[in-house]
Structure 1
């Protein structure tokens, strides 16, 4: 059976070919408003999923160099690919500063051991942040309390605080809407307040493939309400978001601006999501 979520993914694949795209020959930074720019990517990098091509990481490096974001969040990535993507982000900025990274390996439910990519390195989620000062707190990672018993991959999150910005990423489960919402609720209502308390002056951005949608987006086919992102956003919160359907970039501190889908040229099953934020 083709579920609403799968129909949404198919629609996104078509949309990625139709919307204006950022090429790899130049940078989009001059066209974006001043502020914080975050690039969300799902690389389907394990080597075992049907969406794997083996070409997503090189394409991601080209997209990073072209778009020059302040931060990059990576889902379904391999630890072996992070150094090259870190270099791409440093080269994209081309000036004094440094790139800090965090990686959270996903565990196999059956063994409790980290899942390994086909290349042999750990598989999971990663955050890359360019910083002019290089200072920041200690990265934090963790696994969710509630996991889908029908999926072997145990979902995790990673947060990286820097002098300018704290960035978190996650890839929530896709099999059970109730589990997806429970994981999102833990992230936004438990994890983020603790992360923010460690660096109260730095704005926070959360980006990832949340496998949730916003029913108010007004585009694409109808989606079951039990996959509505609003179900896990804290009541009365100041969260703002931009999204392309199931990938989201959210912030309780910053105002959303321009958003673009970036062409990943059939190297993964998701377009890149480049989102701009400014101070409120």
Structure 2
């Protein structure tokens, strides 16, 4: 009995395999994938853990944040509406995953008499956690503030190759929010883009009263949270539902 041999062109054969649900990769494609640089990733969360807002969930949002960080392993975590001990708890809990650096910047009382506080007495504000080493940093209050209301703040960590900032803008005045947005984006411009560094500004922008500078890209959650970047060739975003705060998480991957 003779065997019938049929020659099928390579492209047609690969097409048949793909259509049948079998993924085929060539050695060159596998090698390129193996050597592709890992993306730099940012996870932005508003954990609503002051104890004062209706979205407060008795600290469960912080534990949910632990689970999400462990699942995504972002390069950078930016946090809004947290107590100072929330930031150190997250960093220490995740230190085995390589998170070695954290910083907390307290908001200020409306009369600037001291830091705003959570109901547990801890300072209240914004935070940043880094998977890796930290660097020098700077932060403070915005020049523009709403009178007799929580004084809004920012923090930036500045490495040799990039600067990353976290902020939470006012929700009480579009005009003031716009001035605060201009100030933080100008810092990212002058200390990042203008000196050849990559730049990230993440946080809760509340009233979305901002003009994104030329060369910067804004990726958001469809609401008030943004990750605004400069210096990456491309990126993607993922909006992740959270069950113990009134904001989703925003996860952004950056390439190039």
Length-normalised TM-score, structure 1: 0.72
Secondary structure of 2:50's match?
coil
CA drift at 1:45? 1.4
CA change 1:89–1:42 in 2 (3 A) is same
Extract unaligned runs of 5+ from structure 1: 1-32, 214-226
Larger Cα Rg: Structure 1 or Structure 2? 2
Counterparts of 1:106 and 1:170 in 2: how far apart (Å)? 10
2:42 aligned to 38, 45, 55, which one? 38
1:246 aligned to 224, 230, 239, which one? 224
Counterparts of 1:167 and 1:278 in 2: how far apart (Å)? 16
Aligned residues: 220
1:208 aligned to 179, 195, 203, which one? 203
CA change 1:247–1:196 in 2 (3 A) is same
Root mean square deviation, CA, Å: 2.4
Specify the alignment match of 1:142 in structure 2.
Answer: 140
Bigger relative contact order, structure 1 or 2 (CA pairs below 8 A, ≥6 apart): 1
Counterparts of 2:178 and 2:54 in 1: how far apart (Å)? 25
Counterparts of 1:164 and 1:71 in 2: how far apart (Å)? 14
CA change 1:73–1:63 in 2 (3 A) is same
Specify the alignment match of 1:56 in structure 2.
Answer: 61
Is the Cα–Cα contact under 8 Å of residues 40 and 255 in structure 2 kept in the other structure?
yes
CA change 1:67–1:243 in 2 (3 A) is same
Specify the alignment match of 2:128 in structure 1.
Answer: 127
Is the Cα–Cα contact under 8 Å of residues 87 and 103 in structure 2 kept in the other structure?
no
CA drift at 1:103? 1.3
Show the 5 A alignment for 1:1-280: 34-54=38-58, 55-93=60-98, 99-131=100-132, 134=133, 137-149=135-147, 152-162=149-159, 165-189=162-186, 191-196=187-192, 200=195, 202-213=197-208, 227=209, 229=210, 232-234=211-213, 237-244=214-221, 245-265=223-243, 267-279=244-256
Counterparts of 2:189 and 2:235 in 1: how far apart (Å)? 24
CA change 1:202–1:100 in 2 (3 A) is farther
Deviations 1:170-228 (A, max 9, x none): 01011111111110011112x2244338x945421111011144xxxxxxxxxxxxx4x
CA change 1:168–1:179 in 2 (3 A) is same
Counterparts of 2:103 and 2:189 in 1: how far apart (Å)? 19
Length-normalised TM-score, structure 2: 0.78
Counterparts of 2:166 and 2:117 in 1: how far apart (Å)? 19
Specify the alignment match of 1:17 in structure 2.
Answer: none
Specify the alignment match of 1:13 in structure 2.
Answer: none
Counterparts of 1:165 and 1:194 in 2: how far apart (Å)? 12
Secondary structure of 1:49's match?
coil
Specify the alignment match of 1:220 in structure 2.
Answer: none
